[in-house]
Amino acid sequence: MALVGATAAPPPLKLFVPLLLLVCLCLLSPCQGKPNYSEYRYPFIRRASTFSSSLSSSSNGVNNAYDYIIVGGGTAGCPLAATLSQNFSVLLLERGGVPFANANVSFLENFHLTLADTSKTSASQFFSSTDGVLNSRARVLGGGTCINAGFYTRASTEFIRKVRWDEKLVNESYPWVEKQIVHRPDFAPWQRAFKDSLLDVGVSPFNGFTYDHLYGTKVGGTIFDRYGRRHTAAELLATANPQKLTVLIHATVQKIVFDTRGNRPKAVGVMFKDENGHGHQAFLKSNLQSEVILSSGAIGSPQLLLLSGIGPKADLEKLNISTVLDQEFVGKDIVDNPMNTIFVPTNGPIHQSLIQTVGITKLGVYLESSSGFGQSNDSLHCHHGIVSAEIGQLSTIPPKQRTPEAIRAYAQNKRDLPHEVFRGGFILEKLANPSSKGELRLINTNVDDNPWITFNYFSHPHDLERCVDGIRLATKVVQSKYFTELTRVDKQTTEKLLNISVKANVNLIPKHTNDTKSLEQFCRDTVITIWHYHGGCHVGKVVDHENKVLGVDQLRVVDGSTFSESPGTNPQATVMMMGRYMGAKILRNRLGRAAAV
């Protein structure tokens, strides 16, 4: 049998992130709060250290082997596990903890704190791509739904046809998610002004409140309820069959275990470590229809394939990983949707809102907006991780001068900031379906470390052209009378507006003197992520149209790493739907069309 798994540490972060980046993180990143669900609803969730490898015999011994082992309890993994457990035994392995009692996950008002937290127990794992863009990947049961801005909107019908999904089953799977965790937003004044401004500059018609992907301006759903509480994909596990599902948290899968004795490698189980660092093995039942399913996301799934010996042979040999399958496309053509923002100052306090409204343009860009900053003492005075002076990330001061006194002075200045500086909001411009493509490669064989990732933002000239069009449109939105009436700030010149964003060191990319005069330069210099990266396990190259890994048996990938484009304006709705959809499809294939799901 051949075994496999891992990644590499991000480069040292030497960046002073000023106030505007802090505000940007607060608006664009995830969550905070108190538990709104007790764990008694999920009796099948337990710590990985309680697992006994001796009870999960290999394919022949089978005392406690599983029909399905799902690696990754995230946006796709949770609905997939809940669905498959209706008829088959499922082991769901999640490297993070539970979100239910996590104060950094549950409430909208402090939702930025998880991204700012770089500790090993954080629900988000920080990484920086080689492009110099700061980024995060989820590390918690519920995945990205625990650390995102909550916006819920479906993919276009064109996307569904392009990926060759069964439209009837898709239209059954979306509502399954929606009735459990999706809400209609409490429409904020900022969002109303944004909606009116979009229509004012021609992003029409107004399509009202809808989950559908339609050209024009619309209000979408949210996974935050009217009390500001977040509802995540982990809650979809409440519909599981508790007799057939086991969920292990703090279970970090290191390798997929293969039987390589036949004509084709066959996945038979996984190796994982628990929260104490002790190793375990879990195995599939001796059944040709049993499967290991990777749902670890656009970074985790290609990373695990590589660590397990599925990838370019030359690259694997450099790290002494035994090659199970020489597969040149694993980790290739990974894409991130670039985003640029324009800060909109206000002359008074503004109600906090995350994404509620979107402008879907025919320019190939989407416009969204968020407002307000969590103005609680926790938000203003907390330890802000990567954006905090308390850990010495003062790159404007040479390392030898980062004395305890300098750090204390910076921290005091932050505490003394008046609330007025936290007023305002952002217009977000996201590029739809970028042509620029990147790559993911292993740096080492430690699964806890991040791989080497480059997205090559704006390497394709068409992407840069569309970004310029989007920034021009976004500045018109900011200058609309509806925004000036709300913000009580005079209409500002485009250069003035852009200059505010340029001064915020939102990434590790050097700035240029002409970046407010050249919109092309502005796009390059101020690019950030909206966490919608995808690809690396593309259909037709790494997996087939059933999401089965090409060249091996009993191994599948079900997550956004299989996408060639990010679905809709924001992908979480479709990734959750995909988990339900693929689970229902697998059940129907095994049990017949009459399978009850």
Residue stretches of the annotated binding site for FAD: 94-95, 140, 253, 531-532, 560, 571-572
**C-alpha–C-alpha distance, residues 93 and 273, integer Å:** 10
Q: How far is CA 243 from CA 42, 71, 596, in A?
A: 11, 19, 17
**C-alpha–C-alpha distance, residues 75 and 85, integer Å:** 17
Q: Which of 112, 231, 384, 532 is catalytic?
A: 532
Whether residue 294 contacts residue 558, with contact meaning beta carbons closer than 8 Å, is answered with yes
- Hey, how many other C-beta atoms are within 10 angstroms of the C-beta on 347? 13
Helix (H, G, I), strand (E, B) or coil at 484: helix
Name the DSSP class of 506: -
- Hey, how many other C-beta atoms are within 10 angstroms of the C-beta on 47? 15
For residue 590, give both structure tokens: 């095994």
Beta-bridged to residue 553, according to DSSP, are 266
**C-alpha–C-alpha distance, residues 60 and 64, integer Å:** 11
**C-alpha–C-alpha distance, residues 490 and 495, integer Å:** 14
Binding positions: 94-95, 140, 253, 531-532, 560, 571-572
Distance of CA 330 to the CA centre of its chain: 20
Query: Is the backbone peptide bond immediately before 12 cis, with ω within 30 degrees of 0?
Result: no
Q: If you compute the radius of gyration of the chain from its CA atoms, what whole number of angstroms results?
A: 23
Whether residue 36 contacts residue 229, with contact meaning beta carbons closer than 8 Å, is answered with yes
For residue 444, with 0-12 CB atoms within 10 Å meaning exposed, 13-18 middle and 19 or more buried, which class applies? middle
For residue 117, give both structure tokens: 């937290």
For residue 296, give both structure tokens: 């670890």
Question: Which has the closest alpha carbon to 191: 68, 27, 45, 305?
Answer: 27
Question: Which has the closest alpha carbon to 212: 203, 221, 199?
Answer: 221
SS3 content of the chain, % helix, strand, coil (to 5): 30, 20, 45
Question: Which has the closest alpha carbon to 144: 565, 560, 569?
Answer: 560
Question: Which has the closest alpha carbon to 452: 463, 461, 443, 460?
Answer: 443
Active site residue 532: yes
List, by residue number, the catalytic residues.
532
